[in-house]
Amino acid sequence: MHGIEIDGQFKAYHEEALKTKAGTLTDTFAGKEIIITRTDSGEIRFTADGEVLASIPGFWFSWLAVHPDTELLK
């Protein structure tokens, strides 16, 4: 999974939801449109308002232990 934070709110994106081929997905979170891009090489990039968001790849259980109020995209 990949986790992001916007204005103190957290959302995680399950790897299965991001397993598309190269291309773009969109989501709405914390009042912002999130653009999720997977490159041909498999890199996943999150942006909002034209700025790259830091994303943290990891395991769901470890992310949830630190951020228990996380929203999850499955």
Structure tokens belonging to residue 20:
């598309």
Confidence band (pLDDT; 50, 70, 90) for 11? very high
pLDDT in tens, 29-54: 999 999 999 888 888 999 999 999 99
Confidence at residue 74, expressed as pLDDT on a 0 to 100 scale: 64
Q: Partners of 73 in the beta sheet?
A: 13
Report the alpha-carbon distance of residue 31 to residue 52 in Å, rounded. 16
For the chain, give the percent of residues with pLDDT over 70: 95
Closest C-alpha among 63, 4, 71 to residue 36: 4
- What's the predicted TM-score (pTM) here? 0.84
Structure tokens belonging to residue 9:
């709110």
